[in-house]
Structures are given as structure tokens and as C-alpha cells.
Chain A
Amino acid sequence: MKKSIILFFLILSPIKALALIEVDITRGNLDPLPIAVSPLSIDETSKKGFEKILNKKNIGSEISKVVENNLKTSGLFNPLNKDAFLQAPDIANLKPRFEDWSLIKAQALITGKVNLVDEKLRVEFRLWDVLAGREMMALAFTTVPSNWRRVGHIITDKVYERLTGEKGYFDTRIIYVAEEGPKTRRVKKLAIMDQDGANNKFLTLGNELVLTPRFNPTSQMVTYLSYFRNLPRVYLLDIETGMQEVVGDFPGMTFAPRFSPDGKKIIMSFAKDGNSDIYTMDLENRIVEKITNHPSIDTSPSYSPDGKYICFNSDRSGYQQIYIMKSDGTKVKRISFGKGLYGTPVWSPRGDLIAFTKLHKGKFYIGVMRTDGSGERLLTENFYQEAPSWSPNGRVLIFYRETETNDKGEGFSAKLWSIDLTGYNERLVSTPTDASDPSWSSLLSN
């Protein structure tokens, strides 16, 4: 018994000592890790094959560009300029000459190989610790060629996980509302894209106003608000089949929908006679339950990841504040007590934080607080911004921002932005049109 423990220790300690590269994501990272992403090597036959199927000259370097871009936007890595690479991709993948890579200050190196095997895309990649001079990870997978961008995202997720110790968020999608037209008559459509903005697709035509789409846990279904026939109601949409249905049979406006963490229920507000309360509907047996019962406005409900609690927005104190309660509606407790108004609470997938929008002295903030309301931290201030949505690993928030118009009412725009939980790495998420109400999917692989 004693022997095995010692053995265990002996194996563990050298690994710890050798793990020179580690990325700390709990603090703002002002010194991103220099990483070299060597283009994935590819043989001539495969190259020609993929060119025919995908119309891409060199799929190996295309995939590595996806990886590089992901690493860069994470703010934690600094992908080095390829012009400085001394070693050819195919040889580097066999055995990197670590002196060459450390010469250009790379601390980590990604190499790999792409093959066309039976009309399938086969990819292997390796992550190397340049300073320690050893391999940290080697993985291979096979998929249909059209999935090549996802391959790049999965590689990034694996590298991110290996170097930060936490799951990635790159093989994910964003559903949002695409906007066009004048501010007084905006045309809005549901749209979906990969997390990096690729593969943008519109899901509705813009004939009716649509708002606040949100994914279910498997990211196959979306719940949203549609003004179809001028009756604002919560709808359910299957992304793959395009099938839509109205949720429940309410004699008035239903809005602010979200899924429960198990995906079995939709929680939303129902407004009647000037009073909005929170309801749930079970998607299997269609049973509707009233969760809050108060003459004030109760809206923007969001479940805790274990499904036991709900945070929501209420003006029962006179103004918009954040409250939590048990999922059956009991034990209601106000948690926001700072100066200003608080809205759009969203429970973090890690369970420990609630993200929110705050309005104070004419400025809008995106912030986070602990689930008991303590530790409030404002991440970003702007003229107008709201509706944060968490990345599946709980490290990044995506939200939308609107601009102030000039004296003539011109210059309006709405865009998606992301920011790290640390308050660093604020970035514009580019979309083909104006955009609002983003919702981040779960990881598609796993």
C-alpha cells in the first residue's frame, strides 16, 4: 500500500515540474502566451482531393487559421507570425526542433497533419511544450470534410483545456437577432452563426418582429418571442427541421423565455391586466405552473445550473431589482442592493455568479455578482448595453450594445460584443448586419 502511494507521487511530481506552460484565466491576462500554430501538413493527393470537395487550396493551413484566430480572440494567447517559422510543417509534426521554436520566443507549439481517407477528413494534431522540449498532447479524429471549421474549433478547445485546466468554448454557436432598417421600424430576423462569426444563417424572413432567442442545453432547440399575427408569444423552434410551435395557450403576451437546465421546461413571463408574472411550461405534458404571484412586474427568469433556484427581475420594491427564489417560487429574496436599477439576471453555468445589466446615472453596465448579491463587479460601461449571455465555460460574456444617435436621430447601430469575466479583452463580435439579443450555445462536441 505504502509503495503504491510513493510510486504515484513519483509519477506525479516530475509532470508537475515539467508543466512549465500554464495559462491563468482567473485574472486579466495582459501577457498572452506566445504560441506557434504550424500549418497542418498535407500530402499532395489529399490536397487535391479536398480542393475538389471544399474548394479550398490548402485545407491544412485553413484549419490552422481557424485555430489561430480562436486563440487570439481568447486574449490568453499570442499566435506568432508564420513568416518567422523555420521548420517545415510535416517535419515539425514528427519531431520539432525546439531550439528553432524557442528562438522565435514560442512557448507552445501546435503541429498536425491532414489526410483524405475514404472521402473523410482525418486530422491529427500535437501540442508541444517548447521550453520543456516535450509533447503535451496528441489527438486524432475523423469527420466529414464539410466539418473542417469545427475541427479547428475542437483543436482549440483541446489546447485551451490542456493549458488552462478548464473546458473551452470554441466549438459553439451564437443565436441572435439580426437587425436592419431605420430605428423606428427595425426589421428583425433570427440568425445563427459559429462563435467566430462564420457560417452565418438567417432562420426567419423578417416578416414579423422576433426577440430574445435562447438555446436549450443540447443547442438543438431555440425558444424566442415572435409577434406573429401581432400576438406576441413565446415560440419553440427546432433548428435542424425548422419546425416551430407556440408555447402554451396563454390569453395574452408571453415573453422572456428560457429553458430549464434539463431542457424539459420553458420558463417565461406572462402579462395580463398590467401585471407580469413568471410561469413554467413542461414541454412533455404541457402542464403550466405559475411561479410568482405578485402585482409587480416579474420577468427575465433564469435557472441556476442545478435547476433548484431561479433568479429574476422584479420591480416589487418600486424599481427594477434582482431577486432569487427556489424553483417552486418560495423563499423570494432580493439580492441587488447597489445604486441604480438592475435587470436581465443570468445565472452562470458554473453556478457561482449572476451576470446582469445595470442602469445608473444614465449609463449602462454589464456586471456580475455572487448569488447572494455580494461581490458586485462592473465589467463595462457604455451609453447602452444589455442582455449578457455566458460562454458554456462561464469565462466570457456576450451582450449587445447600441449607439447614441445625433441631434437628427441618425447614427444608430446595434452590435454584439464580448468581454472576459475579468473585465479584460472586450471585443466586437462582427456580424453581417446589426445585431442584438445574443445567446451562446453549449459545447457542440462532448
Chain B
Amino acid sequence: MKKFSYRNIDQGAIMKLYKILKNAFLISLACLVLSACATSKKTGQMQGDVYTGKETVEYLASGVPDRVFFATNESVLTTASRETLRKQAAWLRKNSKITVVLEGHADERGTREYNLALGERRANAAKDYLMTYGISSDRISVLSYGKERPVDSGSNPLAWSKNRRSVTVKAN
């Protein structure tokens, strides 16, 4: 029935253990902060692992980029993506006859079938945002290519970030 055996341990030893643990905790916390800094740091054309460059971007109209980029395994729209989509929405409102296809893509670092679903989820994230800015859903269709149509054939994080995208393509 010795449930509380720690009572027999020297209190000093416990305090020492507590201090060691506390220090270890602080060190690991510092590591976390550091790594968080590292991942959110802007390196060249990427913010975290979201592409921010212009290399593969085409324009639907002057000042209206055609694509938005995503983080690995994510379909959340970044601040920059939302800005791009607001420009697309304004342009679509002005040109009310135009219909579009949102083509969702994934990078090559995932299984084919899951990536098809992920591409569909990304394109729908863009579609939902366009709809909240007044574009009717019957002007937008969605097509996922999964990892079948990369724009950059490289096998490196920058190439993959360019390929994780949803591209708005004029359908008429």
C-alpha cells in the first residue's frame, strides 16, 4: 500500500530535480521560439514555405494576378492570397460575362489520390473567398489536378512551393 513513496525522498533532491526540469523547460521553450522564428522568416521567394515570388504568376488583367499559393498540406488562404483574390473578385465584378475555372494543385511530395483531394480543397478555398466578395458560384467551376501539372519540375522546397497553388483560368 505504498502509494505515496515520494514522501520518503529527500526534499533537497526533489528541489534539485525541479530546477533541472525547469531549466530544461526554459531551454526547450527557447528552442521552440527560435525554430518558430526560423520557419516564419522570409527566405528569398518564400514566407515560411508559402511561395511569395512572381516568377510563375500570370495576369488575368493589369494588376490582377492569376494564382495564389499554399503552405505544405494546407488549404488556408494567406494574407497575400486574400489580397490577390479580392483583386480577382473586383475584376470579375467589372467583367460580369466572364466565367472561370479554379485549378487546384499540389506538390509532388504526397500520394496521388490524397493530392487530388487536396487540390480540390485548395481550389474551393479560393472559390469560397471569391463568393464572399460577390461572385456567383455558377460563374466558378473547380478542377483539381493534384500533382499532375507542376509548373516547376524541380525537386526542392522552392519548386514545390510554386506548385502548391490555385490558378484562376478564364473559361470563356
Give the B-binding residues of A (Cβ under 8 A).
182-186, 209, 211-212, 225, 230, 232, 252-253, 255-256, 269, 271, 273-276, 297, 299-300, 313, 315, 319-320, 341, 343-344, 357, 359, 362, 383-384, 386-387, 402, 404-405, 407, 409-410, 412, 437
Taking A300-B114, A409-B153, A409-B154 as known contacts, 20 extra A-B pairs with beta carbons closer than 8 A to each other, sorted by chain A number, are A184-B149, A184-B150, A184-B151, A186-B148, A255-B116, A274-B120, A274-B128, A275-B121, A276-B120, A276-B121, A299-B117, A313-B114, A320-B114, A343-B113, A344-B113, A359-B110, A384-B108, A402-B108, A405-B153, A409-B155
B73 within 8 A of A: yes
A250 to B: closest C-beta gap in Å: 13
Residue with the greatest number of chain B CB neighbours at <10 A, chosen from A185, A253, A275, A383: A253
Whether A184 lies near B117 (C-beta < 8 A) is: no
A184 to B117, CA, bound (A): 20
- 6 smallest CB-CB distances across A and B, nearest first, come from A274-B124, A343-B111, A409-B153, A183-B153, A276-B117, A256-B113
* CB<8 Å pairs between A and B, sample of 16: A182-B153, A209-B148, A255-B113, A269-B117, A273-B124, A274-B128, A276-B117, A276-B120, A299-B113, A313-B114, A343-B111, A343-B114, A402-B108, A405-B155, A407-B154, A409-B155
A225 to B108, CA, bound (A): 18
Q: Chain B residue with minimal CB distance to A186?
A: B148
Contacts of A273 in B (CB 8 A): 124
What number of A-B contacts does a CB cutoff of 8 Å give? 103
A185 to B151, CA, bound (A): 9
Query: B111 is contacted by which of A357, A404, A407 (Cβ under 8 Å)?
Result: A357
A140 to B112, CA, bound (A): 45
Known: A183-B150, A184-B150, A211-B148. A313 touches B113 (CB 8 A): yes
B104 to A: closest C-beta gap in Å: 9
Enumerate B68-125 residues with CB–CB distance to A below 8 Å: 73, 75, 108-114, 116-118, 120-121, 123-125
Whether B121 lies near A274 (C-beta < 8 A) is: yes
B154 to A: closest C-beta gap in Å: 5
B60 within 8 A of A: no
Whether A437 lies near B116 (C-beta < 8 A) is: no
Enumerate B133-150 residues with CB–CB distance to A below 8 Å: 142-144, 148-150
Whether B153 lies near A184 (C-beta < 8 A) is: yes
Whether B108 lies near A297 (C-beta < 8 A) is: no
Residue with the greatest number of chain A CB neighbours at <10 A, chosen from B120, B121, B128, B148: B120
Contacts of B58 in A (CB 8 A): none
Whether B144 lies near A232 (C-beta < 8 A) is: yes
Residue with the greatest number of chain B CB neighbours at <10 A, chosen from A275, A404, A409: A409
A418 to B: closest C-beta gap in Å: 19
Q: Chain A residue with minimal CB distance to B75?
A: A274
A437 to B113, CA, bound (A): 11
A311 to B116, CA, bound (A): 18
B159 within 8 A of A: yes
A183 to B152, CA, bound (A): 8
Contacts of B120 in A (CB 8 A): 253, 271, 274, 276
Known: A183-B153, A185-B149, A407-B154. A271 touches B112 (CB 8 A): no
Whether A300 lies near B125 (C-beta < 8 A) is: no
A201 to B8, CA, bound (A): 79
Whether A386 lies near B112 (C-beta < 8 A) is: yes
A383 to B155, CA, bound (A): 10
Contacts of A271 in B (CB 8 A): 116-117, 120-121, 144
Contacts of A357 in B (CB 8 A): 111
Contacts of B150 in A (CB 8 A): 183-184
A310 to B: closest C-beta gap in Å: 14
A269 to B119, CA, bound (A): 14
Contacts of A359 in B (CB 8 A): 109-110
A186 to B142, CA, bound (A): 21
Whether A297 lies near B111 (C-beta < 8 A) is: no
Whether B111 lies near A232 (C-beta < 8 A) is: no
A232 to B123, CA, bound (A): 15
Contacts of A383 in B (CB 8 A): 155
Whether B125 lies near A387 (C-beta < 8 A) is: no
Known: A183-B153, A412-B153. A437 touches B112 (CB 8 A): yes
A40 to B: closest C-beta gap in Å: 43
Q: Chain A residue with minimal CB distance to B150?
A: A184
Whether A232 lies near B151 (C-beta < 8 A) is: no
Residue with the greatest number of chain B CB neighbours at <10 A, chosen from A274, A315, A405: A274
Residue with the greatest number of chain A CB neighbours at <10 A, chosen from B110, B128, B159: B110
Known: A405-B154, A409-B159. A384 touches B114 (CB 8 A): no
Q: Chain B residue with minimal CB distance to A436?
A: B112
Contacts of B108 in A (CB 8 A): 384, 402
Whether B112 lies near A212 (C-beta < 8 A) is: yes
Known: A209-B148, A230-B143, A384-B109. A274 touches B125 (CB 8 A): yes
